Structure 1
């Protein structure tokens, strides 16, 4: 059964009132624009009775057009019934504008001392377009002229017990997952308003495709006021059936992502991609609203050390090279330190500093990645390029540092470096695949994918080695017992001006034995290893269950 706007008569009541429930479309619009009666002049001397009767009809029509149902009813011989039906029609159709005008030139006397007055109804209905039709009112004199009210006065093809309503056309396409089933991911799918128009998410992005290009997704119908069932159509939908929009979302991965976010009272997002082709397998946000997994703009913190490590590896630094990790590193009076001011012992390596996320090592190596080296390394991961994934996304920004202090901050994912969870998941996916594959959500709608140079083989192997070390003995300890050989990089990104600074908790990674790479962020969430790590662990356990 289709659902319509509707009003009905309450059982046992002689007064007809609008139905309350799934069939009513909002409340009566206040201040509805309309045009009133202006002139009834006609050639020759007008008949006084006809003129007075026509004026009374126009008063009724003006009240109707202005949604003044009680006033309209008071001008008829059946006030309660007229008020109820006028209110029902105008509440259901909620026109933006209504012009209802009597035809004085065609008004005439008929049998029984009555006057018959034709009139034209023109309504502009936002969700259904123009509605125009003609009707006739009969007026009789009982002291004063009164409109002889019956249901066909309001619409000639209606019978008592019926009203006009809006029908949402059942032709809209569906947003589908990768298996062709309806996608159940609210922050991705988005919403459709009561007029059948997409207003957020993929419903908004592909409204024309899903709606079939219909300018007006609803039509006017006659319905039974009691049951809400359609009796006949008044206007046609005028649109071809909408097309489905198929995404790359894997329902199992999406469910695992959504479940992993449960129990966290902070804003949290998780996105997963297939490294082989960039297909976005999951994008979950808690709470909903903006799709932060794809569009969020955050300092990536130490997860960006994967990019800085790439720049260092390209400069010839090896994972086993000795790497100093002191408590502090000073740059022009600005002090950088490690989380909880830890230090690594003498003889520690580049691999150790990566795995344990030593800020002071990376800051100390900044001269090797000065100039455009970080920006160039980021290009291997598509960061800062223009991505077309089939919906809105943020693709990252890695500007060339303008000072030594800015360079120091950039090496650890601070300063002006920004990324989305999707962008950082693409970093992990590129390390696994050895080559950047631009993320994609709606493949059929992507016109041109961003490309990137291929990472050198020795750089890829070194990054894989260090990201696995992050799990086996480094800051990614939360994944140590997860099957599938997880690789990871943690991040604790400072933001804001508070003292001490607030931090976002990050973790990115990929599974060695599954075609999935992922990123987790908890806004104001504390530590990457301590807080984001357990979320990633829940996600990966679900994938292996």
Structure 2
């Protein structure tokens, strides 16, 4: 691969002071170069194609470090690479991350560009690159197999909701690639023009997983189809995900129509739609809906001890603290595990909670126009399973898309099938589109979700006025960090934020949501 690199790094002059004579005085750092210098050196070495120099800057580089880079370049016939560095952010005393953009020239196919993040940390007192396959391509988890492939469908161009070209280089591209494949085969589309040359696509197989298209190069003008994507929302979501402390995803949609406005996916493998994770306390929206339907009121009394034993299952609050005698609204705002587990066992039983889950779409097909996993709510077989299910643990699973739909259903009072294109186009792919239906007690749920932001677990995090939401910290095993969730709405915008292994919903996912909403306004 011939390298033609350009590396521009903001902030590398942080150690340089300019004297009055014009001379530059460079003060040495203790413990070796700082993250700015390490990042600049790494990108410079990458631009030059010097894997040996790169490895020296990486903490615990794998044995196949160089071969992973060469595999991408050979599989895609890369002729040159340009690396453009953006902002370096300190995420802690021993951690930092640098946003950068990669531009690769592919022989005969043009330029492939995308944004990524270089993570750095102190190892044995020195700053090093914390490399993973995701450094090579966002979301990549294993050894990638790359190739160019022709798509056997007529040329098709997808646009944003305003008819403008979709943004390139972001995590939306794998979703666009699948839309092109599925919709391009519909030759009866009335806007069709004469077929242009067959387009090409970049295909990636992550380890032993399925082959996915991460970029489609248009074969010509072809047909144009509008998606529901909002460029401003997409840019805001991408920025917030890039700044998140770990692999994250944001899905945003319009509750009044079901239109998906943004998909920022740093999980890999289209995890924002296909990944299934325990939703943790965000599922309390579903449980609260069942309790309101069973006759409880938002202001009704609800004890919140630090620990409770129900159905021979010990349930503890996440932070280990009691709230004491409270209303249902307060218990929801403080995310009391003990309250919701006990009430589910004593009042709801399995059938009522399962019915509420179905009302929010769990267990039903979800068809946005591309492949998406349905939420999973296996009916609890005993009281212990019911207690866990009520707080989004046990066998309950959902995708970030699924939980954005839950937030949207509360915001609008109507459950709507999410979509990336017009409903008629989804039906032409053969996917069923579920009819909309009212969500009972949505007004009470909105009161409770507003309390989470005004005085509960999401208070004081910089969320804009009018936001309602629910935090979640989902346990995945004693040896693994919990997942961080926050779902919510503001006006006619609903969203979910998910940070894999992020630890705390209030501490990690809520700030990501605040950053997204501040940029989306």
TM-score (norm 1): 0.59
1:173 to 145, 156, 173: 156
- Matches of 2:199 and 2:433, distance apart in 1: 36
C-alpha RMSD of matched pairs (Å): 3.3
Partner Cα distance (1:436, 1:445) in 2? 20
Identify the structure with the greater strand proportion: 2
Which residue of structure 1 aligns with residue 475 of structure 2? Answer: 494
Equivalence for 2:316: 337
Deviations 1:373-411 (Å, cap 9, x if unpaired)? 112112322222112211111221112101111101000
Cα distance in structure 2, aligned partners of 1:424 and 1:494: 17
Partners of 1:317 and 1:488 in 2: CA distance:
20
- SS of 2:304's equivalent in the other structure is coil
2:410 maps to: 431
Taking structure 1 as reference, are residues 25 and 391 closer, same or farther at Cα in structure 2, changes over 3 Å only?
A: closer
What does residue range 24-35 of structure 1 map to in structure 2 within 5 Å?
none
- How many residue pairs get aligned? The number is 352
Once the 2 structures are TM-superposed, how far is the Cα of residue 209 of structure 1 from its aligned partner?
Answer: 5.0
SS of 1:529's partner is helix
Indicate the residue corresponding to 2:235 in structure 1: 255
Which runs of structure 1 show a deviation greater than 4 angstroms over 4 or more consecutive aligned residues?
24-27, 168-171, 209-216
Q: How does 1:130-209 map to 2 (within 5 A)?
A: 172-184=155-167, 186-190=170-174, 200-208=177-185
Distance in 2 (CA, whole Å) between partners of 1:521 and 1:416 is 18
Structure 2 equivalent of residue 66 of structure 1? none
Cα distance in structure 2, aligned partners of 1:319 and 1:292: 35
TM-score between both structures, scaled by the size of structure 2: 0.62
CA drift at 1:497? 4.6
1:471 equivalent in structure 2: 453
Secondary structure, aligned partner of 2:283: helix
In the alignment, structure 1 residue 275 sits paired with structure 2 residue 255: yes
Aligned-pair CA distance for 1:295:
1.9
Aligned to 1:416: 395
For 2:433 and 2:460, locate their aligned partners in 1 and report how far apart those are by CA, in whole Å: 35
Contact in 1 for aligned 2:277/2:399 (Cα 8 Å)? yes
Structure 1: tracts of 5 or more residues without a match: 1-21, 28-90, 93-125, 129-167, 192-197, 220-238
Partners of 1:358 and 1:349 lie apart in 2 by 11
Answer yes or no: is the 8 Å Cα contact 1:319–1:351 preserved in 2. Answer: yes
Aligned mate of 1:525, from 496, 502, 505? 502
Pick the aligned partner of 1:450 from 421, 431, 434: 434
Decide whether aligned partners of structure 1 residues 520 and 127 sit closer, same or farther in structure 2, where only a CA change above 3 A counts. Answer: closer
SS at match of 2:297: coil
Tell me by how many angstroms 1:434 deviates.
0.7
1:305–1:260 distance in 2 versus 1, CA, 3 Å:
same
Counterpart contact for 1:389–1:439, Cα < 8 Å: yes
Alignment of 1:499-510 (within 5 A): 502-510=481-489
Change (3 A) 1:180 1:478: farther
1:265 Cα offset (Å) = 4.1
- 1:451–1:478 CA distance, 2 compared to 1 (3 A): farther
Pick from 363, 369, 391: which aligns with 2:341? 363
Does structure 1 residue 536 correspond to structure 2 residue 520?
A: no
Whole-angstrom CA distance in 2 between matches of 1:304 and 1:314: 16
SS in 2 for 1:258: helix
Kept after mapping to 2: 8 A contact 1:275/1:433: yes
TM superposition shift of 1:368: 1.5
Change (3 A) 1:179 1:317: same
In terms of mean alpha carbon deviation, does 464-473 or 482-491 score higher? Answer: 482-491
| C-alpha deviation, 1:296, in angstroms | 1.7
Partner of 1:86: none
Equivalent positions of 1:369-384 (< 5 A) are: 369-384=348-363
Distance in 1 separating the partners of 2:247 and 2:411: 28
Secondary structure, aligned partner of 2:315: strand
How far residue 354 of structure 1 moved from its aligned partner, in angstroms, is 0.2
Quick check: 1:429–1:517 contact (8 Å CA) kept in 2? yes
- Give, in angstroms, the shift of residue 445 of structure 1: 1.6
Q: Compare CA radii of gyration and give the structure with the larger one.
A: 1
Q: CA deviation at 1:207?
A: 4.6
* Partner Cα separation in structure 2 for residue 190 and residue 466 of structure 1: 36
Q: Measure the CA separation in 2 of the matches of 1:464 and 1:127.
A: 48
- Number of the residue aligned with 1:387: 366
Give 1:170 shift: 13
CA offsets 1:263-301 (integer angstroms, 9 cap, x no match):
2341100000101000000010125x3222222211100
Tell me the CA shift for residue 484 of structure 1: 3.9
How many Å separate the matches in 2 of 1:362 and 1:252?
38
